[in-house]
Amino acid sequence: MKVLILAAGEGKNLAPFTSTRPKPMMRIAGKYILEHTLRLLNECGLSDVNMVVGHKRRKVIDTFQGGGDYGTNIHYIEQKQVGAGIGKAILDARDRIDPGEYFMLVYGDILASQNIFSHTLQAFGVSRSPVASINLTSSPEMFGNVYLDPKMRITKIIEKPMEGSRGNYVLSGVFILPYSFFGLLEQSGESMETALSRLAGEEELHASIWEKGWIDIAYPWDIIGANQLLMDEWEESRIHKSVVLKGNVRIEGPALIEEGVEICSGTTIEGPVFIGRNSFIGNNALIRKYTAVGPESIIGYGVELKNCITFGKSMLGRLSFIGDSVIGTKVDIDSGTMTVNRSESGKTVKTMVHGSEVDTGLEKLGAFIGDDAKIGASNTIIAGTVIESGVSIRHNHSYPR
């Protein structure tokens, strides 16, 4: 069975990170979202992959190339019109699917705690008819809500449900669809919701209920949640034989430490933690649970990292604290910088999305710092702050004022 992955979306709500990369190229628990997807597809024998790319497509193509390193064969379909929508992206790949065959459709910005693709395949094997993976979520208003009959067939889909009309289940972003679905998309004006509803009415659309962890990464704080989701599945440490532990280094809980890492004396690591290849951890650092340090990073003396993700190639200066935050690539943070991770009022942290203030619903949340940002020494970064890519902040400053 062929796979179609949609990886063309711009993901404006994920700024500042998607201003320099497509959504599926963010690092979660040490790997790109797309890398997690490709490896799980390979595990269940799906290696023929077609991928629709658009926004910052060279990042995807240059990284994954033909897919050989991931046990797949990737064919890229370039979507020229950025933001054209899901239906148009699927139709752009029509020539890659043979008439009469089924294909697996995967949204490129979802993550599950275990192999959701294998689970969907099993459901298809039982029904031998179109399948949509569904799951329960605490935020049904954000997703396409589905309604089922007693035989687990989907009877209705509401893309943007109003208050009071929300269902219990939402679409998980994994489908097994027939070739005829392309025709339904054309007849539906490229509307995914309408085409799926017509498929459910004219043929059958069975539900595959996913009861394990799942997340659709829609906002920057979802990166932190996705990182926790995957790390909670880790049960043991894997430390590459080339890792150098200098002096007294304490590791508690599962830690995944890649090749070429050097960790200096006095450092404590409280897993689950990821440390990427060729990184340097200075003396007396404290790396707390759910932290992912991207490759080729430098963590200075006495730095404390807590529940945060750095995408890689960044420098975090001595005696700094980075908590509940996401740090882009090639970020330079000087000594003594602190991310505040609670609001002064004690209420949930608010942040800016598209120029509008959004309540994240989280009591602890730090900062979102875009690629190539430079932050001077002795700075205090207020909870929920978004720092755009390439921004420079002077020394001894509170940001924003």
Q: At what angle do helices 33-43 and 57-64 cross, to 10 degrees?
A: 50
Q: CA-to-CA distance for 138 and 128, rounded, in angstroms?
A: 31
DSSP secondary structure letters along 29-47: TTEEHHHHHHHHHHHTT--
Cβ atoms of 374 and 362 within 8 Å: the answer is: no
Question: In terms of Cα–Cα distance, which of 366, 372, 365, 369 is closest to 386?
Answer: 369
Q: Is the pTM above the cut of 0.85?
A: yes
Q: Secondary structure of 95-121 in the HEC alphabet?
A: HHCCCCCEEEEEECCEEECCCHHHHHH
Amino acid at 170: V
Q: Where along the chain do its domains lie?
A: 2-218, 238-399
Amino acid at 301: Y
Residue with tokens 């420079």: 392
Amino acid at 216: D
Distances (CA, A) of 72 to 47, 49, 59, 67: 4, 7, 18, 5
Q: Are 264 and 247 in contact (CB under 8 A)?
A: yes
- Which CATH number describes the domain made up of 238-399? 2.160.10.10
What is the CATH code for 2-218? Answer: 3.90.550.10
pLDDT score, position 10 = 86
pLDDT in tens, the chain (401 residues): 999 999 998 889 999 999 999 999 999 999 999 999 999 999 999 999 999 999 999 999 999 999 999 999 999 999 877 777 899 999 999 999 999 999 999 999 999 999 999 999 999 999 999 999 999 876 656 666 788 888 888 988 877 655 554 557 889 999 999 999 999 999 999 999 899 999 998 888 999 999 999 999 999 999 999 999 999 999 999 999 999 999 999 999 999 999 999 999 999 999 999 999 999 999 999 999 999 999 999 999 999 999 999 999 999 999 999 999 999 999 999 999 999 999 888 899 999 998 899 999 999 999 999 999 999 999 999 999 999 999 999 998 788 86
Q: What pLDDT score was predicted for residue 156?
A: 81
Which tokens sit at 288? 């707390």
The 3-class SS string of 191-255 reads CHHHHHHHHHHHCCCEEEEECCCEEECCCHHHHHHHHHHHHCCCCCCEECCCCEECCCCEEECCE
| Per-residue confidence (pLDDT) for residue 167, from 0 to 100 | 56
| Residue 149: per-residue pLDDT | 85
pLDDT of residue 139: 65
Residue 227: its pLDDT value, please?
A: 98
What is the pLDDT, as a whole number, of residue 353?
93
Q: Which of 103, 104, 49, 36 is nearest to 77 (CA)?
A: 49
Q: What CA–CA distance (Å, rounded) separates 155 from 206?
A: 9
Q: What is the secondary structure of 281-297 as a DSSP string?
A: E-TT-EE-TTEEE-TT-
Judge whether 374 and 1 are in contact, CB under 8 Å. Answer: no
